[in-house]
Amino acid sequence: MTKANLNFAELPFSFIPTDYNIRYTFKDGVWDKGVLTQDQTLPMHISATCLHYGQQVFEGLKVYERPDGQAQVFRIDQNSKRMNRGADKILMQQVPEELFIEAVFRVVNANRKFIPPHDAGGAAMYVRPILLGTGVQLGVSPSTEYTFIVFVSPVGPYYKSGFAPVHLIVEEEVDRAAALGVGDIKVAGNYAAGMRATMGAKKKGFSEVLYLDSRHKKYLDESGSSNFFGVTGDNRYVTPSSPSILPSITNMSVQQIAKDKGLAVEPRLVAVEELADFVEAGCCGTAAVISPVGSVTHRDKKFEYCKGETVGPIVTDLYKTLSGIQFGVIEDPYGWTRIVPEGV
Ligand SMILES: Cc1ncc(COP(=O)(O)O)c(C=O)c1O
């Protein structure tokens, strides 16, 4: 297949238009059959619940081109499950897993020429499913109508610098999510809540913030759009666990890989003082896979986890293994990847 006329090796991590997106509507108790459209705008009622009351959940996953030219997705079932957990929590209609997967396959097939070639420096096709309450309500109550959209965009690596250290600052003035709120689901409001923290950190020269738990301000939570982990000198992979962290599919996968490489894996409460115990650290998420953390600044202390630009051996190995599986370079012993069948 002829690829689109794009400089795939230099793609930014930003929206690039493709030919089609796909939309399904839930009305009168049933999902329709979905329609591919070239329209990139979305007309909706001004009183839709997603606009006023935040009935919105979304997902993010990637399609990777394997060395043999086939396209594959990574743990798509987990994205579907996480979106449905979110839908349940804010009283939205779930999208059946088969429909979620069908939607992704259909829209990927309609835009195949935009899948970055295997050797384009880590570029991939980003897939963004969105579920919206589109029924009309004025009082605060759940919608009876929903729209499920999936669009795609070819993307380059999340950080321009690629696999190079990022620098974090512990955020003490802003909470991204309440302890018993909705931090554990992927709803738009969490990102709006955190934007001022991230922008503030960037102004100070940091890449991102590292949030503390909102109740005690004592334990590490996560970063703005990724989970955090540290590796200790005695080979323990320590990652914060709390009800306000979004369960990262990347982190879940890295934990499995770390275990299989002989590290002790500890998802648990991690006190901020434990930053001093780590010899390496990383942030994980679909966009960046693993971003090596060069340093974390907490008040007047700076904890360093890379020697200059040199990333530690464990973070490097975990990154290479996971991205090798995602791009089909390393055999997938876990059954995490799935070829996108043509003709769906
Ligand atoms: C707040 C937050 N945490 C963690 C992650 C990483 O999750 P995943 O690895 O499933 O992409 C993301 C990205 O989706 C995120 O937005």
Domains of the chain: 8-155 (3.30.470.10), 166-326 (3.20.10.10)
Task: Say yes or no: CB of residue 248 within 6 Å of ligand 1.
Answer: yes
Q: How far apart are CA 247 and CA 258, in angstroms?
A: 17
Confidence check: pLDDT of 159 > 80? no
Residue that wins the pLDDT comparison between 158 and 318: 318
Residue 288: pLDDT band by 50, 70, 90 thresholds?
Answer: confident
Would the pTM count as exceeding 0.85?
yes
From the CB of 326, is ligand 1 less than 6 Å away? no
d(CA 249, CA 108): 21
Rounded mean pLDDT of 161-184?
94
Known catalytic residues are 186
- For ligand 1, what atom is nearest to the CA of residue 227? 4
Distance CA 14, CA 112 (A): 18
Which of 128, 99, 143 is CA-nearest to residue 188?
A: 128
What pLDDT, on the 0 to 100 scale, is given for residue 157?
79
Q: Is 245 helix (H, G, I), strand (E, B) or coil?
A: coil
Report how far ligand 1's centroid is from the alpha carbon of 285 (Å). Answer: 5
pLDDT of the residue at 100: 99
Average pLDDT over residues 155-180: 90
pLDDT for residue 171 is more than 80: yes
Q: Which amino acid is at 290?
A: I
Q: Rounded to the nearest whole angstrom, what is the distance from the C-alpha of residue 248 to the centroid of ligand 1?
A: 5
Residue nearest to atom 16 of ligand 1 (CA): 225
> Does the pLDDT value for residue 162 go beyond 80?
no
Q: Which of 186, 190, 336 to mutate to test the pocket of ligand 1 (most atoms within 8 A of CB)?
A: 186
More confident residue, 108 or 343: 108
What is the tens place of the pLDDT at every residue in 4-26?
999 999 999 999 999 999 999 99
Average pLDDT over residues 214-226: 96
Indicate the residue type of 266: E
Q: How much distance in Å is there from the Cα of 205 to the middle of ligand 1? A: 22
pLDDT higher than threshold 70 for residue 68: yes
* Cα–ligand 1 centroid distance for 137 (angstroms): 30
Of 168, 226, 242, best ligand 1 pocket probe by most atoms within 8 Å of the beta carbon: 226
